[in-house]
Structure 1
Amino acid sequence: MYQLQSKPVIITLEIAPSDMVRFNTLRELHFPAHANYLEAHLTLFYRLPGMEAVIPETLQQYSQRAPMLLQVNDVVNFGTGVAYTLHAPALQELHGELQAAFDPWLVRQDRQPLRPHITIQNKVTAFKAAQLHAQLKESFRSFEITATGFGTWAYLQGPWKALDKFMFREPCLK
């Protein structure tokens, strides 16, 4: 159950556990161990106020939907690491609606257009990132994953603490 708290809140997109196996395995293999205190994830918002009751209320409202398919469409090198990018028009639309709902509390980073990605390597040299990128790119084929809800996390100056999940589900018809 979500509880209001003083720490900033991060919102992620929950992905089906079976789809996350690939990303988490790659992250365990290629993310520096000293900095790998999170599983792979897709961040939607980086810093929302934990004391605003409208945040969990809004997530509950927007979770009244069917799970959505996302297309993993590329693997990219961002200099100090590697990530998989996603093409997801429905997610872009959903993110825009959430941005409008959270507008009073958005920091500059959260006002940017969403560039959905799942990082599997970070905080390495450019050489290591280029090596992994070339290796993964060689055999890359686009594939689908399923978004299943929202996750909320308290930011603890490095590690994150899980707060609650708002799983997608069709609204009940009465």
Structure 2
Amino acid sequence: MFQLQSKPVIVTLEIAPSDMARFNTLRELYFPSHANYLEAHLTLFYRLPGMEAVIPETLQQYSRRAPMALQVNGIVNFGTGVAYTLYAPALEALHKKLQVAFEPWLVRQDRQPLRPHITIQNKVTSFKAAQLHAQLSATFTPFDITATGFGTWEYLRGPWKALDKFMFQE
């Protein structure tokens, strides 16, 4: 059960474990080990107030739905790392609804349109990021993964502490 937190809460999209295994393996291979203290994840909101009961209530409400198919449609080099991008119109629509519900508490970053991605490399030189991007892009074929719910996390100045999950169920 979700407990109200004095610290900000991060909201992620839960992905089927069998789908996330691929991204976690790549993250272990390519993310600098000194900075790799998280598993692969897809962040929906970076900073929501942990003391607002409406946050878990809203996530519970919007989890009353079927699991959602997402297409991993590309690989992006963002300068200091590499991420897989997702084509997910249903997720983007859901995110917009959550933005409306959370509007009073959104920080600037959380007000932006969602650009869903899963980072597998970060905190490297632009040369290393370009190398990995070229290597992965050479054999990339789009594939589907399944979103299964929402996760909430407490930020601990590096690692995150899992708080609760709101699994999709019709």
Superposed pair shares fold, TM > 0.5: yes
Percent identity between the two aligned chains: 85
Task: Look up the match of 2:101.
Answer: 101
> How far off its partner does 1:33 sit?
0.4
1:20 & 1:93 partners in 2: Cα distance? Answer: 22
Say whether residues 1:16 and 2:19 are aligned partners.
Answer: no
Report the aligned-residue RMSD. 0.4
Query: What is the identity, as a one-letter code, of the residue corresponding to 2:123?
Result: K
Unaligned residue ranges in structure 2 (runs of 5+)? none
> How far off its partner does 1:96 sit?
0.1
After superposing on structure 2, the runs of 4+ consecutive aligned residues of structure 1 that deviate more than 2 Å are none
> How far off its partner does 1:13 sit?
0.1
Check conservation: 1:26, 1:120, Cα contact below 8 A.
Answer: yes
SS of the residue aligned with 2:5?
coil
> How far off its partner does 1:102 sit?
0.2
TM-score calculated relative to the size of structure 2: 0.99
SS of the residue aligned with 2:14?
strand
State the Cα deviation string for residues 89-130 of structure 1 (Å, max 9, x = none).
000000000000000000000000000000000000001001
Unaligned residue ranges in structure 1 (runs of 5+)? none
Check conservation: 1:7, 1:155, Cα contact below 8 A.
Answer: yes
1:6 & 1:128 partners in 2: Cα distance? Answer: 38
Query: What is the identity, as a one-letter code, of the residue corresponding to 2:121?
Result: Q
1:58 & 1:28 partners in 2: Cα distance? Answer: 33
Query: What is the identity, as a one-letter code, of the residue corresponding to 1:162?
Result: A
Count of residues in correspondence between the two structures: 170
TM-score calculated relative to the size of structure 1: 0.97
Check conservation: 1:153, 1:164, Cα contact below 8 A.
Answer: yes
Check conservation: 1:40, 1:119, Cα contact below 8 A.
Answer: yes
**For 1:83-162, what aligned pairs fall within 5 Å after superposition?**
83-162=83-162
Query: What is the identity, as a one-letter code, of the residue corresponding to 1:69?
Result: A
Check conservation: 1:73, 1:86, Cα contact below 8 A.
Answer: yes
1:146 & 1:73 partners in 2: Cα distance? Answer: 14
1:38 & 1:111 partners in 2: Cα distance? Answer: 24
SS of the residue aligned with 1:65?
coil
Check conservation: 1:7, 1:156, Cα contact below 8 A.
Answer: no
